[in-house]
Amino acid sequence: MILEARDLVKHYGDFAALKGLNLAIGEGEVFCLLGANGAGKTTTIQLFLGFLEPTSGSAQIKGMEVQSHPLETKRHLAYIPENVILYPNLSGLENLTYFSTLAGTADTSEERLRATLDRAGLPNDAVERPVGTYSKGMRQKVGIAMAIARQASLLLLDEPTSGLDPKASNEFSQLVSSLREEGVAVLMATHDLFRSREIASRIGIMKRGVLVDQIDAASVSHTDLENIYLEHMRD
């Protein structure tokens, strides 16, 4: 397995944000986590990033505990938050060069990085423009280019399509699908039922820190998924 949670628990004081999560994601699999705000989706992502320490249980990447192997596990993953943070005065190419070098990417030649931005769908006329002029969708493409450049085997996404227009959201989905075909594992926290059904292998529904359902995405229609989700959201 690329990613695995075993009885993963996270408490903030007396509040249980995550209650015994068990989850496994394999190579080339996209797992979308649906749930209301506060359901535990972002907490799950942050535990695998090592930003939080679990109260109990384990978060593993490629069989390694995130807490005990923080540097080793980070080498295998890329993270794209809701808002990709880039240096606004640098161009897309300069940002990609900087962050790829920082991550220890083997080949940071201009030719390769330009090709990577092109594959991520960044328009040619934007490659050398300051990122401060980019739309949110364009910044997300630079984030995807970073994941491609470092050849990450795991992609962690936290509300990546929030605030994107339909065209940009569709382009983002296509990029994720292409990485999936190359064997990249994806864990995506989202509110977007439509995109989940479109790109996921499996869909999980979280409620109050509990993974209450797992669904084979190919086995349900968009309407079926919406009905299942709404049923779970009822108190």
Q: Does 90 lie in the same domain as 68?
A: no
Q: What's the pLDDT score for residue 215?
A: 95
Q: Does 144 lie in the same domain as 117?
A: yes
End of a domain among 151, 178, 207? 151
Q: Does 204 lie in the same domain as 100?
A: no
Q: Cβ distance 167 to 128 under 8 Å?
A: no
Q: Does 139 lie in the same domain as 90?
A: yes
Q: Does 139 lie in the same domain as 164?
A: no
Whether residue 81 lies inside any domain: the answer is no
**Interatomic CA distance for residues 196 and 191, integer angstroms:** 9
Q: Does 71 lie in the same domain as 163?
A: yes
Query: If you count DSSP H runs as helices and E runs as strands, how many of each does the chain have, helices first?
Result: 8, 10
pLDDT digit string (tens) for the chain, length 235 residues: 999 999 999 999 999 999 999 999 999 999 999 999 889 999 999 999 999 999 999 999 999 999 999 989 988 998 988 888 899 999 999 999 999 988 878 788 899 999 999 988 899 999 999 999 999 889 988 988 988 888 889 999 998 888 778 888 888 888 888 889 999 999 999 988 988 999 999 999 999 999 999 999 999 999 999 999 999 988 6
**Interatomic CA distance for residues 232 and 211, integer angstroms:** 11
**Interatomic CA distance for residues 48 and 79, integer angstroms:** 10
Q: Does 133 lie in the same domain as 65?
A: no
**Interatomic CA distance for residues 154 and 86, integer angstroms:** 21
Range of the domain at 22: 3-76+153-233
Q: What's the pLDDT score for residue 231?
A: 92
End of a domain among 95, 118, 151? 151
Pairing of strands 15-25, 3-12: antiparallel
Beta strands in the chain (DSSP E): 3-12, 15-25, 30-34, 56-61, 64-65, 77-80, 154-158, 185-190, 202-207, 210-216
Whether residue 120 lies inside any domain: the answer is yes
Q: Does 127 lie in the same domain as 175?
A: no
CATH code: domain of residue 157? 3.40.50.300
Total of domains in the chain? 2
Euclidean distance between the first and final Cα of the chain, in Å?
Answer: 34
Helices (H), 19-109: 41-49, 70-74, 92-102
Q: Does 106 lie in the same domain as 178?
A: no
- Token digits for 92? 């897309």
Q: Does 164 lie in the same domain as 147?
A: no
Q: Does 161 lie in the same domain as 71?
A: yes
Whether residue 98 lies inside any domain: the answer is yes
Q: Does 126 lie in the same domain as 20?
A: no
Query: Which string of b and e fits 170-203 if b means at least 16 CB within 10 Å?
Result: ebbbebbeebbeeebbbbbbbebbebbbbbbbbb
Residues facing 156 on adjacent strands: 79, 187
End of a domain among 109, 124, 151? 151
Whether residue 21 lies inside any domain: the answer is yes
